[in-house]
Amino acid sequence: MGIESKLNSYLNRLPVVKKTVKRLYQIGMYTVSPKIKSEGDIEKISPDDGMEYFFGYYDKSPWDATDRYMLCLRVKKTYSSVAPQEPAEIILFDTHDNNSYRVLGKTRTWNVQQGCMLQWLGPNYSEKIIYNDFRNNEYCSVILNLLTNEEKIISMPVYSVSSNGDSALTLDFSRLHRLRPGYGYSNLPDINKGTNCPDQACIWHVNLINGKITPILKYTDFFNFETRPEMEGAEHKVNHIMLSPSGERVMVLHRWIQGSNKYTRLVTFNSDGTEMYNLSDDNMTSHCYWKNNNEIIAYAHKKTEGNGYYLMKDKTNQFQQKWPELTADGHPSFSSIHNMFVTDTYPDRARVASIYIIGSEDEVNKVARVFAPFKYDNDVRCDLHPRWNREGNKICFDSVFEGKRGLYTLDINN
């Protein structure tokens, strides 16, 4: 472990001190580092109109089935609050018409990391979109038909939507907001605040056809599943639900906080909550993605190998370390069309973040670098969150290298 990693590990126990030390270190390193704004074959999609544009997380695509239309959010500013209650506009860009756009509607619940779960609805990814909103003093999700402008309201927000568009899974966004700023919603308080491990539902199944909501797992289900001593008295949450391509299996990060110590394990289960499997339990798992219905790529810690990217086989203890030259955490996703991964990095000591493409032979290629101003840091940072288009020849990402959040694309030469 390098000096920076050791210092970071120590400072994790002193979050206030860590933030100050980190900022002083960043300023010092930025001062002596070469300055760049951007590098790569980057095209800007969003206009220069003083507003901020971004899509959200890395596990969804802003493109429709034809790769012509792109979705994103438009807001006034994203650097003063992690989950504002002021509305965000939902924008549809036409990339075949000089990136002209129209406003489809508004959402009253969103955050700077994952937006409002805005996405095209399967199976055709062309006629309907779905997003989360806050109406009648309750969270909900909205299915909008772009051909008729008709809305269908579902009584809970969604987190991960099945590829056929029939169902979704969701979680407790208010608890998530309290325990992980920038990932949940702030409109309603956490009703289980003060209860470390509620005997209440934390994951629900959402039927998008008839609107039926079914609780499938509780916080106590995770606590009682292969319980570890560190879980006793700790505060528990779940985050980052992802359905497999078939929708039959699900992965989720089960996290618990004990004072200044934080633990994470990667758990998989059937979409009805059965057959839970403890896939990775070496204290740290970060960003993950289903490569197929049986394999997951994850940036995680392994006791014998350390931190890195690992390809894991579901319901087994089999794993393989990938791309050892990529030592830093990032947001990986997979394009099955060309058998390629994309991932990114957080800003380095010069405040520069990078995007990498990994080919079928595991060759790693840096395809873009972008600057991150200090205004966008910590909980209001702008992660790149690279995402594939449907054809697998373009990447979309959010960035602030021009001073505001913007939506950008990157051509990939296959």
Predicted confidence at residue 17, as pLDDT, reads: 74
Looking at the structure, tell me whether residues 130 and 63 fall in a common domain: yes
In this structure, the answer to whether residues 130 and 8 fall within a common structural domain is no
Task: Note the residue count of the chain.
Answer: 414
Which CA distances in Å does 152 have to 49, 110, 132, 160, 371?
32, 19, 12, 18, 40
Assigned domain for 6 exists: yes
Tally of structural domains, the chain: 2
Residue of 56, 44, 126 whose CA lies nearest to 88: 56
Which pLDDT score is estimated for 223? 98
DSSP 153-205: EESS--SEE-TTSSEEEEE-HHHHHHHSTTTS--SS--TTTT-SS-SSEEEEE
- DSSP structure class, residue 380: G
Low-confidence spans in the chain with pLDDT less than 50: 1
**Shared-domain flag, residues 151 and 6:** no
Query: Are 111 and 234 in the same domain?
Result: yes
Q: State the pLDDT at residue 51.
A: 98
- The reply to whether 348 falls in a domain is no
> Are residues 15 and 102 part of one domain?
no
Residues 321 and 216 in one domain: yes
Range of the domain at 16: 1-32
Same domain for 67 and 147? yes
Please indicate, yes or no, if residue 207 is contained in any of the structural domains. Answer: yes
In a domain, residue 229? The reply is yes
Question: Residue 347 falls within a domain, yes or no?
Answer: no
Report the CATH number at residue 102.
Answer: 2.130.10.10
229 and 175, same domain (yes or no): yes
154 in the same domain as 248: yes
Per residue, the 3-state secondary structure of 325-357, as one string, reads CCCCCCCCEEECCCCEEEEECCCCCCCEEEEEE
The predicted pLDDT at position 13 comes to 65
277 and 144 in a common domain: yes
The pLDDT tens digits of the residues spanning 171-186 come to 999 999 999 999 999 9
The Cβ-side half-sphere exposure at 188, using a 13 Å CA radius, reads: 16
**Tens-place pLDDT, residues 111-146:** 999 999 999 999 999 999 999 999 999 999 999 999
The answer to whether 265 and 223 have CB atoms below 8 angstroms apart is no
Q: So what's the pLDDT on residue 414?
A: 55
Position 7 scores a pLDDT of: 61
Report the alpha-carbon distance of residue 93 to residue 106 in Å, rounded. 15
Identify whether residues 127 and 2 lie together within a single domain: no
Q: Quote the pLDDT of residue 353.
A: 97
Bond from prior residue into 386 cis (ω within 30 degrees of 0) = no
pTM above 0.85, yes or no: yes
Q: Are residues 2 and 59 in the same domain?
A: no
Q: Is 7 contained in some domain?
A: yes
Is 243 within a domain?
A: yes
Last residue of a domain, one of 282, 314, 332: 332
Q: What local confidence, expressed as pLDDT, does residue 10 receive?
A: 63
Structural domain ending residue among the three candidates 332, 349, 364: 332
Asked whether residue 205 is domain-assigned, the answer is: yes
Would you tell me how many other CB atoms lie within 10 Å of the CB of residue 337?
13
Q: Show which of 332, 362, 396 is a domain's final residue.
A: 332
